[in-house]
């Protein structure tokens, strides 16, 4: 009996819920063991898929949550979401493409990229031809050739960045060649999909007819790409009409979806249209903003795509001697093809054998691009084409591709790291590859650096720059306006800005203005120091004390009998107590930051209460320690009395945490003289926790 639409949607919602949690768990596990998260997401799909746990019976799902569907393996609804995800992925990949770099290194990068594509395509096609007993021009063989050409730019770039080789001759060449790899791979895919579309009626094609289709497919891609790049600013201007950066970013994705649909109607793959639109917009000033604004959509959809790709893998079908042999041969050829195809031409462009090996190794990982092409092959029925004498079915052929993708992505990082760490340069002569300059300021204070960055980014927005926070936790931002591009990094108290040599004057002038204004603001604040208004700001007696604050407390971080007799001794003993929370990984750093905060103004309050606190890089998350001294300790309280109750709060400097809310909540909870005295007179740590817990319950 056919399912109702409600039943179908209920199943889809539950499937998505399982996928979302599974990809997060496996993605984090993958990162912990040092492999790309994309592989963890792929493995998550294999584990929860219809050929594994997803096929086990569950209440309400007697045949399993994930059923095997003919054609695409997964349900049409889930496959539809996966298709949208692949469009978002390729649109984002196009946006990340450095078109200027692509054009600047178009000759050497183009030759090296072309070499990698040509050798990979031929060897991939030939290996498939021999193993599947097909002809060189048969569609399955051509498809295996195309999948062998892919290069994952993101994985390679991450390795180069970690090794600080992004601007090296090999790094620049790898990135430029990788872009050519992707573009040429897209062109080849367009050609093959054009052939597949023409053969959809079941008729065979002559060599001449295939040539005509290839020219048509290439021409469509080339003309549309050229027009999109030429009119990229017009397209950007059109989406800007929709208002805010959130609105025009979503509309830009809408344009990519539209072009994807147009390409599909022309017999080409949708991802080709999405990549083309991303490539066109990559040269506009709104590209970084679009990347930032669609990041949430990307993080939701793209892992689902990788999981769905994993669900299509029938592990049982792979446990076959012939399939494993095919996969091993295809994988080894895929690795060698890049080293030979890219490393060989590199020797003709001033690189020595070390440089050639580095470039070849950098082009090895196939990653997400190969997965998308494989998914197209699976759902379009290419793997299922009946070929006389072919010993493999569609599931086995798809498994061979997944095996190649996994192994090349796992092998590339350690192999490239080995080659990059080989002593000696990779070029025959010393080559300067970039005119970019870096200017570094050390403000000797993290808070000042934060203020400088905030003011600078605000000024840049006022100048018409589009500012993107590339990674908030890592303190990396990018600002872009027309041809001017700034890379801004904050590492604790150090701020560095990288830009082209001709734009460094603008950078220095901007920073000079920011420092002047900030200096003026700081001077105006000095008049408030020790004023009654500033002291009044410390009154938090009206603050709420909630369950979240109580949960941070632990009897392990409470002492009812402090041994300290001086302020420094109290702080040292309290930090030791704080370490019992198991959230402190650098006690020395915490103590230094607490003392630095005390040097600005004492945290001793009236009525015997003191709340020493700081934001610090020495803790993983917010933590609280409570110490009691019956005799009292001189702590610089404004009423001149000794302090008996000490509440220390430490929270991470960069990550979000309720630092100020916690401080206010604690002082608010102790506003009652009765509660304060009860805590001071407590004799057991658990008693202190119970008293504060009762305050929370009574405040509801």
Render pLDDT for 227-243 as a digit per residue (tens, 0 to 9): 988 899 899 999 988 88
Tell me the CATH number for domain 436-526.
Answer: 3.30.310.10
Tell me the CATH number for domain 5-420.
Answer: 1.20.1530.20
pLDDT of residue 572: 92
| The pairing of beta strand 466-471 with beta strand 476-481 | antiparallel
* pLDDT > 90: percent of the chain: 12
| pTM for this model (two decimals) | 0.62
What does each C-alpha distance from 321 to 224, 327, 328, 392, 396 come to in angstroms?
45, 10, 11, 12, 11
- The C-alpha atoms of residue 139 and residue 196 are separated, in whole angstroms, by 7
pLDDT of residue 573: 92
pLDDT of residue 257: 94
pLDDT of residue 253: 93
pLDDT > 60? residue 511: yes
Residue-wise pLDDT for 150-167, tens only, equals 777 666 665 665 565 655
pLDDT of residue 673: 84
Mean pLDDT value across residues 5-9: 84
- Delimiting residues of CATH 3.40.930.10 domain(s) in the chain: 540-698
pLDDT > 80? residue 660: no
Residue-wise pLDDT for 360-388, tens only, equals 888 888 777 777 777 777 777 777 777 77
Mean pLDDT value across residues 506-528: 76
Residue-wise pLDDT for 373-432, tens only, equals 777 777 777 777 777 777 888 888 888 888 888 888 788 878 888 887 787 777 777 654
Going 17 to 21 to 22 to 24, the CA torsion angle's sign is positive
Lowest mean pLDDT among 207-221, 243-257, 274-288, 679-693: 207-221
Mean pLDDT value across residues 556-568: 90
Mean pLDDT value across residues 665-689: 84
Going 77 to 82 to 86 to 87, the CA torsion angle's sign is positive
Model confidence at 18, in pLDDT bands (50, 70, 90)?
A: very high
pLDDT > 80? residue 523: no
Angle at 558 between CA 557 and CA 559, to 5 degrees: 125
DSSP 8-state class, residue 478? E
Mean pLDDT of all residues in the chain?
80
- The C-alpha atoms of residue 527 and residue 53 are separated, in whole angstroms, by 67
Beta-carbon-side half-sphere exposure of residue 113 (alpha carbons within 13 Å):
25
Give strand pairing partners of 499. 437
Residue 232 has phi, psi (to 5 degrees) of -60, -40
- The C-alpha atoms of residue 683 and residue 695 are separated, in whole angstroms, by 18
Which has the higher per-residue pLDDT, 149 or 196?
149
pLDDT of residue 111: 85
pLDDT > 90? residue 694: no
Give strand pairing partners of 610. 604, 646
Mean pLDDT value across residues 673-696: 85
Model confidence at 330, in pLDDT bands (50, 70, 90)?
A: very high
pLDDT of residue 54: 86
pLDDT of residue 478: 66
Residue-wise pLDDT for 53-86, tens only, equals 888 888 878 888 888 777 667 888 888 898 898 8
Which has the higher per-residue pLDDT, 434 or 168?
168
pLDDT of residue 126: 92
pLDDT of residue 646: 92
Residue-wise pLDDT for 193-210, tens only, equals 777 776 665 555 555 666
Which has the higher per-residue pLDDT, 420 or 122?
122
- The C-alpha atoms of residue 481 and residue 460 are separated, in whole angstroms, by 9
pLDDT > 90? residue 467: no
Write 485-494 long-range contacts (CB < 8 A, 24+): 486/460, 488/453, 488/456, 488/457, 490/449, 490/450, 490/453, 492/446, 492/449, 492/617, 493/442, 493/443, 493/444, 493/445, 493/446, 493/448, 493/449, 494/440, 494/441, 494/442, 494/443, 494/449
Model confidence at 543, in pLDDT bands (50, 70, 90)?
A: very low
Tell me the CATH number for domain 540-698.
Answer: 3.40.930.10
Going 345 to 348 to 349 to 350, the CA torsion angle's sign is positive
Residue-wise pLDDT for 577-633, tens only, equals 999 888 888 999 999 989 988 887 788 888 888 889 988 888 988 889 999 998 899
pLDDT of residue 656: 62
- Delimiting residues of CATH 3.30.310.10 domain(s) in the chain: 436-526
- Delimiting residues of CATH 1.20.1530.20 domain(s) in the chain: 5-420
- The three-state DSSP-derived secondary structure of 683-697 is CCHHHHHHHHHHHHH
pLDDT of residue 636: 85
Residue-wise pLDDT for 258-313, tens only, equals 999 998 887 777 888 888 898 888 878 788 788 878 888 888 888 888 888 888 88
């Amino acid at each position: 009996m056919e399912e109702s639409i409600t039943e179908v949607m209920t199943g889809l919602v539950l499937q998505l819920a399982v996928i979302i949690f599974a990809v997060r768990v496996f993605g984090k596990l993958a990162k912990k063991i040092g492999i790309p998260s994309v592989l963890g997401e792929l493995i998550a799909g294999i584990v929860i898929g219809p050929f594994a746990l997803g096929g086990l019976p569950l209440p309400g799902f007697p045949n399993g949550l994930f059923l095997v569907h003919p054609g695409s393996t997964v349900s049409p609804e889930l496959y539809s979401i996966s298709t949208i995800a692949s469009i978002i992925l390729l649109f984002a990949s196009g946006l990340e493409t450095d078109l200027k770099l692509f054009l600047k290194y178009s000759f050497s990068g183009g030759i090296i990229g072309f070499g990698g594509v040509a050798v990979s395509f031929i060897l991939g096609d030939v290996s498939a031809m021999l193993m599947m007993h097909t002809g060189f021009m048969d569609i399955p063989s051509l498809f295996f050739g195309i999948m062998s050409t892919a290069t994952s730019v993101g994985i390679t770039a991450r390795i180069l960045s970690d090794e600080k080789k992004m601007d090296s001759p090999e790094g620049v060449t790898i990135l430029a060649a990788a872009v050519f790899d992707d573009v040429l791979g897209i062109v080849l895919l367009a050609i093959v999909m054009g052939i597949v579309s023409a053969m959809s009626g079941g008729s065979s094609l002559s060599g001449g007819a295939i040539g005509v289709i290839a020219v048509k497919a290439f021409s469509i891609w080339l003309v549309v790409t050229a027009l999109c790049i030429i009119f990229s600013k017009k397209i950007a201007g059109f989406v800007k009409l929709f208002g805010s950066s959130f609105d025009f970013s979503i509309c830009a994705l809408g344009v990519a979806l539209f072009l994807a649909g147009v390409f599909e109607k022309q017999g080409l793959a949708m991802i080709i249209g999405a990549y083309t639109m991303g490539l066109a917009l990559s040269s506009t000033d709104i590209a970084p903003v679009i990347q930032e604004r669609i990041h949430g959509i990307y993080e939701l959809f793209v892992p689902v795509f990788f999981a769905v790709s994993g669900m299509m893998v029938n592990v049982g079908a792979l446990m076959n001697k012939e399939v494993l042999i095919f996969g091993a041969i295809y994988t080894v050829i895929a690795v060698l093809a890049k080293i030979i195809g890219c490393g060989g031409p590199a020797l003709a462009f001033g690189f020595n054998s070390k440089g050639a090996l580095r470039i070849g190794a950098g082009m090895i990982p196939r990653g997400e691009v190969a997965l998308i092409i494989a998914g197209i092959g699976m759902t379009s029925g290419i793997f299922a084409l009946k070929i006389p004498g072919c010993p493999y079915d569609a599931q086995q052929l798809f498994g061979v591709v997944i095996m190649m993708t996994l192994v090349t992505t796992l092998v590339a990082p350690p192999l490239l790291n080995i080659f990059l760490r080989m002593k000696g340069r990779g070029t025959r002569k010393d080559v300067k590859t970039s005119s970019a300059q870096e200017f570094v300021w050390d403000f000797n204070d993290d808070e000042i650096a934060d203020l400088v960055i905030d003011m600078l980014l605000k000024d840049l927005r006022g100048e018409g720059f589009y500012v993107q926070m590339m990674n908030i936790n890592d303190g990396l931002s990018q600002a872009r306006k027309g041809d001017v591009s700034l890379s801004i990094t904050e590492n604790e108290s150090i701020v560095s800005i990288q830009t082209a040599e001709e734009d460094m004057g603008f950078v220095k002038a901007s920073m000079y203005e920011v420092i002047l204004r900030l200096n003026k603001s700081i001077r105006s604040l000095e008049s408030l120091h020790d004023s009654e208004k500033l002291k009044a700001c410390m009154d938090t007696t009206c603050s709420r004390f909630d369950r979240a604050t109580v949960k941070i407390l632990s009897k392990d971080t409470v002492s009812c009998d402090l041994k300290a007799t001086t302020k420094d001794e109290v702080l040292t003993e309290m930090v030791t107590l704080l370490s019992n929370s198991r959230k402190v990984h650098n006690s020395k750093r915490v103590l230094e930051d607490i003392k630095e905060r005390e040097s600005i103004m004492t945290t001793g309050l009236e009525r015997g209460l003191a709340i020493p606190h700081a934001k610090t890089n020495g803790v993983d998350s917010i933590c609280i320690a409570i110490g009691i001294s019956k005799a009292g300790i001189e702590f610089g309280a404004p009423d001149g009395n000794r302090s008996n109750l000490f509440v220390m709060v430490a929270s991470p400097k960069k990550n979000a945490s309720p630092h100020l809310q916690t401080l206010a909540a604690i002082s608010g909870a102790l506003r009652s003289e009765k509660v304060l005295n009860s805590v001071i007179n407590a004799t057991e740590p658990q008693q202190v926790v119970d008293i504060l817990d009762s305050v929370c319950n009574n405040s509801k």
